[in-house]
Structure 1
């Protein structure tokens, strides 16, 4: 089936969409039934089209309609008889042609106001017609394992709108030259599929790709579709795409009893997903997943456990969706006092085209995230000067799953972590907070603004400078906020006691050290904000509130 829609002279769609009978038409003259291009239905040609070719197309369309009317299916169908009589009379060619109509404009035949393709005889006749065109004799079907009529080519195409990267409607299998096929054979000789399976696989794929059980983002190279073999109470993909704190917490709490729950709740259900991309008129299967739903439940639970991250905001989320992770891999755009991430597919977004696919694979299969994504993400943080909860969570996720990481980072502040890069990130955050607290008014450029990007790759220079300037900041802070000054100084002294900036802090950091620096920086900021909120709440408490 294909979607037929009227179009104007500029190719813009207008009118009503129709799903009409069609078969793959790579080359040659091959009419469709009851609806097709104007050159087929009405014999109308354009200046750049050969009249002889258009005449052949129209004659083939008329002949197809005649066979439909004379077939056992259409012999007693008044619609088939009416369409055949009309076309054989030649009245179609004599119709007045609208000025905006081209040879490729879609034309739909209707009888008494009802589209002819809806006639009762159409499905059966068209099935036999497709079998006649696409048939390649009898044989064993690789899909269903039965002996029956085989296809020469796949009868349908997947619309390009459903396949990122495809510029034309795509065929699942297309081997029209010997050099492309296994053992130098063409068409479906090396992958025999019966007519029923060939029609079903294309129809089923179109349905699932166009359903709510699919996801794709602009600028990404693939589309994900998924389903389960039976209805189940656990919706893994809904949780991955729209996580909520209570739902994730419930999943993490039940993961240890998943085996006991499987028999009663998950049963024998299996989860399946396919990730597809396109190239011109070809489909590429980038990933295929099939596993018991019980196993997927454990993988999803570990995905959220590995990404859990403390928030700098009191109402911030601890868990983030796959879509959010894909978004934050793009460029951060500062717009006045607020900022945002570049939209999917936007020019200059600098977002890897395979980031969504890599994240989905890691979540479903419980595999490491490609280290190239970590390198890209750290580069974006350094370039953008922006690190938020989601970016910190993705960094922790990648480090946690990396086989090169010996100590898995914690979701929140880890005082026992004495890694110099992690401690340096914490110290940098404290220095930034001291200067901010000591400033009577907001400065245009802060310590963090000046040194953050450089400190990621060379923390030594930033910490030496910050330690020297901190004395003046603390003196100023003691005049107005004695308690905050004491707390900051004690915290700073404790961190610098763990390292010697001239010896322990590297002047050049590896990718892993840069990531740990950013985690230490984020953890310390979140801890500092929480401490400041607690101190503020303590000061504003009334005696009555204290006694309660």
Structure 2
């Protein structure tokens, strides 16, 4: 199902009228070639041209349409008319390179295989003349020669007078490449699992998939049989699950295109590389994409996520969504590295936009919490939310599988994973603080969990964006009470090195009954240092929060209740620093954070 959907995507994109979106024809691929060697018709080198341009802090080479690359193994395998400097030029920065001669010979032999179809082409003959007697002196004078050898960068060739047109792109050479591929594709016939069982030559090896975060830099495979234990009925490698060469090219080309670093059809969250596409042109392909909604915004447009959410709200407003838009189906695929293979974390096959859009909006409703500071994001990305729950706020410390499970929960409208709640609560207790991003995570987890219950408790559903005075949940009220005790201490003692939050937050959120009696005594001592008006205000507030005696508070809070405690603490603390109207005499006045 996954490969079939990707093959269908290739068929649509290969005929796209937009050249920038059009996928290459079978046997070809778009490849970044940083360096191009310009040749005269007699095969002598003119210059080594640098195709790179500055993009931010990096220099990125130009992209060219070249013959599809071969699968590189530990042996020698050359690409056709383009390859690394070691293959294409027989040159290396290494002092010892025992395979260099073999690599150069393999590259030359592959080019010579085109002679039966393009023996009269001046460009191919110029390249063969250069490869048979390479004269590198003009190239070695180039300022970037050493850099090219050091990085073993990709190199291709062009004929003098054909600027911007590689030799492999010359019409006669390109036709020869297609003819050579056809002559070499006569593999074993087998019923293709993608193309409805058509008897076609099966692909023995599938092109590697690149761009999955954490996978091997050389690429990994979705379909792979590389050990005898995986084989059946005497079949080897790809013949165990026969996919035609045509279909294998289609699905790998489409997936590699979706996984490009600059693709708007991918979003990276933790170790889950998620790609998505629609079965027809859609608003997602224009004003916003799933990457804008859930991904980390780029520095040059930090408000992209917020604007995308607003656009999504406009799209699904009642009566404003055309039927064609709502019936557009979206395919969403989550991938993660697994040694030399790629594992599928989740797969949503053809979800109508009318179902997907409300699920996305529900996610943003779930994480909506009053912000501490104006510069905090209104619609934080999943990456930021996850790193807020990781040790030292580092992406490398995000628990494995957590990102993929959260993404799947959003897209399928499921409860959030228990591991997410545990990570958020533990970070709050370890750092004695409930940050804005952790409050977003806690609120989202609690509300989704409540909605998933067969009989949700409507009196506590859902937790609100700001302080909820009507919420009678014991754990939530304990959090509010703890924030009040902290506030009283702050006004009584000012800026001190160690507050009750630093000493008691973890214990108060776990065993409140054991802690709050002591905190109550401290409260009375602190109230004596305040003005009468402020002391009366806080006494009234404490009475409103807790009508029961301190000894009747919960003795132990479960993990979800600890999340309620943290959310109550956050809401009450934020309320203290929210500007009040002049007529509001029952609430605290802003004192600064």
TM-score range, shorter chain: 0.7 to 0.9
**How far apart are the structure 2 equivalents of 1:253 and 1:77?**
55
Equivalent residue in structure 2 for 1:516, among 564, 574, 581: 564
Paired residue for 1:225? 275
Q: Name the SS of the counterpart of 1:189 in structure 2.
A: helix
Distance 1:477 1:321, change over 3 A: same
Contact 1:175 1:188 in 2 (8 A): yes
How big is the shift at 1:176? 2.9
> How do residues 2-401 of structure 1 correspond to structure 2 at under 5 angstroms?
2-5=31-34, 16=61, 19=64, 20-21=66-67, 22-26=69-73, 28-43=75-90, 49-50=97-98, 54-71=100-117, 74-87=118-131, 90-92=132-134, 101=149, 106-112=154-160, 114=162, 115-133=166-184, 135-145=186-196, 147=198, 149-154=200-205, 156-159=207-210, 161-181=211-231, 185-210=235-260, 211-216=263-268, 220-233=270-283, 235=288, 237=290, 238-241=292-295, 242-244=304-306, 247-248=309-310, 251=313, 257=318, 262-264=321-323, 266-290=325-349, 291-312=351-372, 319-331=379-391, 342-345=393-396, 350-401=397-448
**How far apart are the structure 2 equivalents of 1:281 and 1:447?**
51
How big is the shift at 1:465? 1.7
Distance 1:130 1:442, change over 3 A: same
Contact 1:374 1:395 in 2 (8 A): yes
Deviations 1:512-534, CA, capped at 9 Å, x for gaps: 1211111211222233333x633
Deviations 1:61-81, CA, capped at 9 Å, x for gaps: 33322221221xx24432123
Contact 2:276 2:332 in 1 (8 A): yes
The alignment status of 1:423 with 2:477, answered yes or no, reads yes
How big is the shift at 1:537? 8.5
How big is the shift at 1:104? 5.8
**How far apart are the structure 2 equivalents of 1:124 and 1:146?**
29
Paired residue for 2:580? 533
Deviations 1:158-189, CA, capped at 9 Å, x for gaps: 33x54433243223433233312456632221
How big is the shift at 1:300? 1.3
**How far apart are the structure 1 equivalents of 2:90 and 2:312?**
64
Q: Name the SS of the counterpart of 1:164 in structure 2.
A: coil
Give TM-score scaled by structure 2 length: 0.74
Range with greater deviation from structure 2 (165-174 or 378-387) = 165-174
RMSD of equivalent CA atoms: 3.6
The alignment status of 1:504 with 2:553, answered yes or no, reads yes
How big is the shift at 1:500? 3.2
Range with greater deviation from structure 2 (425-434 or 277-286) = 277-286
Unaligned runs of 5+ in 1: 8-12, 333-341, 540-548
Distance 1:124 1:147, change over 3 A: farther
How big is the shift at 1:18? 5.3
Contact 2:432 2:501 in 1 (8 A): no
Give TM-score scaled by structure 1 length: 0.80
The alignment status of 1:474 with 2:523, answered yes or no, reads no
**How far apart are the structure 1 equivalents of 2:559 and 2:553?**
17
Q: Name the SS of the counterpart of 2:386 in structure 1.
A: helix
Distance 1:394 1:285, change over 3 A: same
Contact 1:274 1:289 in 2 (8 A): yes
Q: Name the SS of the counterpart of 1:226 in structure 2.
A: strand
**How far apart are the structure 2 equivalents of 1:246 and 1:191?**
41
Distance 1:135 1:61, change over 3 A: same
Distance 1:450 1:14, change over 3 A: closer
Contact 1:34 1:109 in 2 (8 A): yes
Distance 1:102 1:308, change over 3 A: closer
**How far apart are the structure 2 equivalents of 1:470 and 1:264?**
61
